[in-house]
């Protein structure tokens, strides 16, 4: 399942919201949690979210206001991938 910004979040606390409207901090957290699991054990919605987060990681980090330490240090989120 390929998710876009207009796709509905397939599960969880923000189920049904457009992916673009789901808070970046939530997507980054969820992506990290899903990445710890065996990808073969994930359902289609979970794989879609994991792929969406991977494809949009840089933008999500820039949108994530809990990630402000990057700005304070003067480096970019991409430097820590």
Q: What is the tens place of the pLDDT at every residue in 23-34?
A: 999 999 999 999
pLDDT at 74 over 50: no
Distance from C-alpha of 21 to C-alpha of 19, rounded to nearest angstrom: 5
Residue 15 has pLDDT above 90, yes or no: yes
Please tell me the distance from the alpha carbon of residue 77 to that of residue 81, in angstroms, as a whole number: 7
Structure tokens at 79: 């430097």
Whether the per-residue pLDDT at 61 is higher than 50: the answer is yes
pTM: 0.78
**Cα(69)–Cα(73) distance, rounded to whole angstroms?**
6
């Amino acid at each position: 399942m390929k998710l876009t910004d207009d796709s509905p979040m397939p599960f969880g606390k923000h189920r049904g919201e457009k992916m673009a409207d789901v808070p970046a901090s939530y997507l980054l957290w969820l992506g990290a949690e899903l990445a710890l699991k065996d990808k073969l054990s994930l359902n289609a919605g979970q794989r879609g979210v994991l792929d969406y987060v991977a494809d949009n990681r840089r933008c999500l980090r820039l949108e994530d206001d809990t990630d402000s330490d990057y700005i304070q240090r003067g480096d970019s989120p991409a430097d820590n991938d």
